[in-house]
């Protein structure tokens, strides 16, 4: 076999494997509502490609696409009532969510912090926390031939680990030294 044929064969194999690189990132999502109820369902991200058919799946929705997508974005909208909405997750607003997708654990939850943040929300992706800096945040999933390569976050700022949850002062100040920065409970009359 001459070098030209061998080079052509290697190039064809290299490009054909990239062109048909299917991936399926299984995902389980749990939404928590202000009423205290919750709902669990499957929320995968997947791509399958054939010679003429290319399908991209987001949850239950399947879309015909021209090829493997490079990225997909979810908008997380902070509502006026301080709850959130994600179009792909629910028709209405909800309070928080836990989403395990591929190698990522994404959690959006409320927590009262020492220095208030928009909506009292913390978005946690694996070991990194973010706070809303705008009313709309965007999670962009970047894909490679194996699935999710990384997740970019826009409209939020990364936590530097300085803004911690509020610390309540002990009920009996004589029992122990009050923690630095603790907040006394309000007296109820």
pLDDT tens-digit map of 13-49: 333 334 447 999 999 999 999 999 999 999 999 999 9
Q: For residue 177, is it within any domain?
A: no
Q: For residue 136, is it within any domain?
A: yes
Q: For residue 33, is it within any domain?
A: no
Does position 3 have pLDDT exceeding 70, yes or no?
A: no
Q: For residue 111, is it within any domain?
A: yes
Selection from 88, 55, 83 nearest residue 73 by Cα: 88
Higher pLDDT, 21 or 130: 130
Q: For residue 49, is it within any domain?
A: no
Label residue 31 exposed, middle or buried (CB < 10 Å: 0-12, 13-18, 19+). buried
> What residue numbers bound the domain in which 119 lies?
69-158
Domain count of the fold of the chain: 1
pTM tops 0.85: no
Q: For residue 54, is it within any domain?
A: no
Q: For residue 138, is it within any domain?
A: yes
Q: For residue 95, is it within any domain?
A: yes
């Amino acid at each position: 076999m001459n070098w030209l044929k061998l080079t052509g064969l290697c190039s064809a194999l290299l490009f054909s494997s990239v062109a048909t690189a299917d991936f399926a990132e299984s995902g389980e999502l749990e939404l928590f509502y202000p009423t205290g109820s919750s709902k669990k369902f499957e929320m995968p991200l997947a791509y399958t490609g054939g010679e003429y058919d290319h399908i991209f799946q987001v949850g239950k929705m399947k879309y015909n696409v021209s090829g493997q997508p490079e990225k997909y974005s979810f908008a997380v909208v902070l509502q006026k009532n301080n709850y959130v909405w994600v179009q792909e997750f629910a028709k209405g607003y909800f309070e928080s969510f836990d989403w395990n997708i591929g190698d990522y654990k994404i959690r959006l939850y409320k927590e009262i912090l020492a220095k208030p943040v928009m909506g009292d929300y913390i978005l946690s992706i694996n070991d990194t926390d973010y706070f809303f800096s705008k009313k709309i945040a965007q999670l962009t999933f970047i894909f490679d031939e194996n699935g999710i390569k990384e997740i970019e976050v826009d409209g939020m700022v990364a936590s530097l680990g300085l803004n911690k949850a509020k610390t309540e002062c002990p009920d009996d100040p004589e029992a122990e030294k009050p923690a630095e920065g603790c907040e006394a409970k309000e007296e109820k009359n």
